[in-house]
Structure 1
Amino acid sequence: MKIVTPLVAALSFLSRLGPARIHDDATLAASVKYFPLAGAVIGALVTAPFYFGLLRGHPWLQAWLLLVLALWATRALHWDGWADVFDAWGSGARDERFWTVMKDSRLGAFGGVALVMGLAGQLLLLHNALAAGAFGAVAWAFVLGRGTCVATAYMGRDLARGQGLGRTFLAGASSWALLLVVLQVFGLGLAVRPEIALAPALAVAFLGVVELSALARRMGGMNGDILGAAVIWGELAGLMGYTAVSGLPPLP
């Protein structure tokens, strides 16, 4: 299978940046291994205006506008999953009640808090990185987000629930796909300065994979909402990694 078709499918599903078209299940499953590359495209495009000087000297405005661009580019798809997962988790529900709460289209208190805290956290972290001119770290956060999603899917590939796209993407999360994803995440991570920021970012992302996959296993299933939450967790992890080391002196 040609690389371009699954990559286009990844961009089409994860963002507005790919052409709108219907892909078969095999192509969508194959697209999983290119999620980090799709994240690189998204990250590069939403970061580029500020790299080239838009609103230079106004990092708060840059951070806010970049967040708006990211929400537009991704249709806020993953934030929806983030809110749904926290609504279900915060409710304390178990078994089928847990999934009923997750699928409720109404935003609950826990989902609302998660949205506010997540978006506020991303805005603060973006401000810190953009004020320091760490454009590579910002763009790579979108890569790590999609890599975290694939790693979570791999951990829960035997927990597919329902017949939606979540099942299709879980089917594509093979060992081979995970290996390619890890190589992409590390390879594209070379754009991050300082490189030491990769360690805390990957540690926080790994914690997200463990927690989300453990939640899925306790509740007996994994779906697209959990995978969407993993994307957001990974994006936050990438930005946290840079922030964790930004005040440290450079390595000799």
Structure 2
Amino acid sequence: MKIVRNFLAALGFLTRLGPVATDPDMAGCVPLFPVVGATLGLVLTVPLALGLFGGHPLAGAFVYAVANLALTRGLHLDGFADVADAWGSLARGERFFTIMKDSRIGAFGGMALVVAIAGQACFGAELLSSGQVWLLAAAPVAGRAAAVALMRACADIPRPGLGSLCLPGATWPNTLFAVGLGLVCLLAAGGLRAAVWGTVLGGLTLWRLARLARQNGGVNGDFLGAAIVGCELTTLAGGLL
């Protein structure tokens, strides 16, 4: 079935959990990004829910953060760091994207990586301590739903690359499905308060990324990675407010 092929392609593209597809239908994969997030979230969280590092929440959260990094090949963290480098440079237009695509990491990118990994570990430890383990599973879903929402918001300003192949898949029905799935998972994992705070903080993050993309004339895969990481963090933070 096509939906199974697209799911496996999305799983292989976004994580190490699936086969690497040759010539995948990237647009067709887009609505399944949050489903991939759910798969990843369960793989990361079920061992903790079953008692791995029970009584040691910081250790459990550290393993969660490192496993998330390993299973995604650092793909989204790389985008998060690249956007931070370009944003911190105060460059605009083509210079902004030149800095973003530079393979060398700058000071702002390095700081962004510390914030992202430390944030996952610290927020995760607090959630484990308070018994909200399933918000750690919901965060990857919300992050990938946010990436689809950013594609929808910036569908008219694609930049060359894999991101431009994904943007046509962010139709309104696909976006509503992705965002709806993210909200359902947030509600199920953390209740109404966590869902509201996660949505508010995630919405602010997406607004800032979309504004930055429009100021510089385009959105690419790095922006999508930044949306995933940023909204994973806001989901975890929202569960503590």
Q: TM-score, normalised by structure 2?
A: 0.97
**Residue segments in structure 2 that go unaligned for 5+ positions in a row:** none
Matched, 1:65 2:63: yes
Q: Is the 2:186–2:194 Cα contact (8 Å) retained in structure 1?
A: no
Paired position in structure 2 for 1:221: 218
Q: Which residue of 1 aligns with 2:14?
A: 14
One-letter amino acid of the counterpart of residue 191, structure 1 = A
Q: Is the 8 A contact 2:13 2:21 kept in 1?
A: no
SS in 2 for 1:134: coil
**Equivalent residue for 1:3?**
3
Q: Deviations over 1:175-223 (max 9, x none)?
A: 1110111221122233213332100001111111111011100100110
C-alpha contact (below 8 Å) 2:16/2:71 kept by paired residues: yes
Kept after mapping to 2: 8 A contact 1:37/1:143: yes
Distance 1:112 1:95 in 2: 22
Aligned to 1:23: 23
The normalised TM-score by structure 1 is 0.93
Q: CA RMSD in A?
A: 1.2
Shift of the alpha carbon at 1:47? Answer: 0.7
Moved over 6 A (4+): none
Q: Is 1:116–2:114 an aligned residue pair?
A: yes
Q: Does 1:231 align with 2:228?
A: yes
CA distance 1:30–1:57, change in 2 (3 Å) = same
CA-CA distance at 1:134 after TM superposition = 1.2
Choose the corresponding residue for 1:199, options 196, 215, 224. 196
Measured after TM superposition, the shift of residue 48 of structure 1 is: 1.0
Which region of structure 1 is more displaced relative to structure 2, 89-98 or 188-197? 188-197
Q: Who is 1:249 aligned against?
A: none
Tell me the residue number matched to 1:93. Answer: 91
SS in structure 1 at match of 2:20: coil
Letter in 2 for 1:28: M
Residue 51 (1) aligns with residue 68 (2): no
Deviations 1:211-244 (A, max 9, x none): 1011100100110001100000110011011011
2:167 paired with 1:170: yes
Letter in 2 for 1:168: L
Cα displacement (A) at 1:19: 1.1
Structure 1: 5+ residue stretches without partners: 245-252
Indicate if the aligned counterparts of 1:9 and 1:23 stay in contact, CA closer than 8 A.
no
The answer to whether the 8 A contact 1:154-1:174 is kept is yes
1:144 matched to which residue of 2? 142
Between the aligned partners of 1:235 and 1:182, the Cα distance in structure 2 is: 14
Report the alpha carbon displacement of residue 108 of structure 1 after superposing the two structures with TM. 0.3
- Give distance in 2, aligned partners of 1:138 and 1:221: 31
